[in-house]
Chain A
Amino acid sequence: MSEKVLMKGNEAIAEATIRAGCKLFFGYPITPQNEIPEYMAKNMPKIGGLCLQAESEVAAINMVLGAAAAGARVITSSSSPGISLKGEGISYIVGSDLPCVIVNVQRGGPGLGGIQPAQSDYNQATKALGHGDMHIIVLAPSSVQEMATLTGEAFDLADIYRMPVMLLADGALGQMMEPVDLEAKEKRTLPPKDWACTGHGGKRPYNVVNSLYIQPDVLEKTIIERFKKYDEIKQKEVKYEEYLTDDAEIILVSYGITARIAKTAVKHARTMGIKAGLFRPVTLFPFPSEQLDRLADKTSVKTFLSVEMNMGQMINDIKVAINCKKDVYHFGRTGGVIPTPDEILENIKKYAAVGGKI
């Protein structure tokens, strides 16, 4: 392990990007992720890379498409309203089977909303980032260390599966500083980018990168192939963390910044004799459905409590994952408010007392 450095989450993403060999950043400023373009602007030129502030988020995501089509590692970052603007381009990138990394340092919405931390883009990220039958991989870091490690992982996953990967963070993770080991990421074997449009001087057949398929049967085939890939990802790439779930009666399900606050609440609940545990999805797509379902099958487990910084978005994925065989409740704060451990503890007490249906 190398020496740890104290960094903001946003800076950790930017540094991990450079260490992943990515030399291209396209973006447009927005709070609370501005340390990313700031860091890129300062450091990309030093490695012969490029940090370009585009005229808009729409322009930036289409620059990402172009760079990815040429086989380059490329990243863009934004916060909630800016991600909505990128939606069209992300759909085109999915339709063109191109790898890239998209960072969403979430803030409160809808609309311009606020600039404080939120997790209210969960549904957008996991279900409807763009039009069409599509998914992208969504990773939810919970610490500044994971902001770095999962950025490296996002680039690898994007290249392995030829698709966009989103890092779904929030303003708190972006702004906070924690010690980071920048060399913690394990290397993965990557496939060659023999599909890229790199120029060939007539020495091989040309490659085509395109998302337009006029014939419905051809388009259907490409979509079905893509969904086979999603199935493979569900088999191989699910990541999650469990904490004190072995004998738990009430299991909190929480990701990102909220998961670590929930963990504190779980510890407090244990000291009061409440058998609480925590399940933290690290991949939001693929969602760890099978793992949750196995927990739901345990007779000791009575209740699930979804804890998020929104009005209740992941709760539906939990209910589907466990086929509603146990009660699932939601507790959240929204609009940029971060829940306190005490608030979560109160909800653990409340729902543990309900006990769930037997």
Chain B
Amino acid sequence: MSGILLAGFGGQGILFAGKQLALAGMKSGKQVSWLPSYGPEMRGGTANCSVNIEDEPIGSPVVSKPDILVAMNLPSFQKFEDKVVSGGIIILDSSLVGIKTKRDDVNIKYIPATRLADENNLGGLANVIMLGQLLKAYNLFDYAYFGECLMAAAPKSKPQLGELNVKALKIGYEYEG
């Protein structure tokens, strides 16, 4: 089905976003894997994670040729743009990356996710806005189903976090570039 690479700065919620995709995949009965880049750098450094969602058992957890790239900063976009398979999808945070793709064989969506998050009082949830746009571009999961997964993933003591995530998902899903 899909090899997904999510990349950006540490602190943008890259690993969280990837985990939500893996969780939703697992709950829908798919084979899934989630692998973070890990290194000495954490906040402010680069972060990426590989998510596989497949019907068959997963071999390498490393997504080296992504079907889907979710990029949230310039270095990540420049590093992984060429690795996306032909016909693949790129979701790019255009409020943080000012350049356009040089490829004509991918489906790219530019969404100012970080600006949209700030404007809607959802600071820190640009990652989920990106996922909303991804679901719009490609029916990886049913939009309503994924919203339920986000609600279920929130800690029981803080259900409002789930609601905020669902709100961010909606903004990303409804954004028309």
Contact = CB atoms under 8 A, between A and B. Distances in A.
Interface of A: 4, 6, 31-32, 115, 171-172, 175-179, 257, 260-261, 263-265, 267, 338, 340-341
Contacts of B23: 6
Contacts of B36: 175-176
B38 A115 contact: yes
Contacts of B60: 260-261, 264, 338, 340-341
Contacts of A177: 19, 22, 33-35
Interface in B27-45: 31-36, 38-40
B51 to A, nearest CB: 9
Contacts of B61: 172, 176, 257
Interface in B41-62: 57-62
A178 B39 CA distance: 20
Question: Which of B35, B58, B59, B62 is packed against the most chain A CB atoms within 10 Å?
Answer: B59
Contacts of B120: none
Contacts of A264: 59-60
A264 B62 CA distance: 12
Interface residues of B, number: 20
B26 interface: yes
B26 A4 contact: yes
Contacts of A179: 26, 31-32
A180 B23 CA distance: 12
A31 B38 contact: yes
B64 A340 contact: yes
Contacts of A341: 59-60
22 contacts: A6-B22, A6-B32, A32-B38, A115-B38, A172-B62, A175-B36, A176-B33, A176-B34, A176-B35, A176-B36, A176-B61, A177-B33, A178-B58, A179-B31, A179-B32, A257-B61, A260-B57, A261-B59, A264-B59, A264-B60, A338-B60, A340-B60
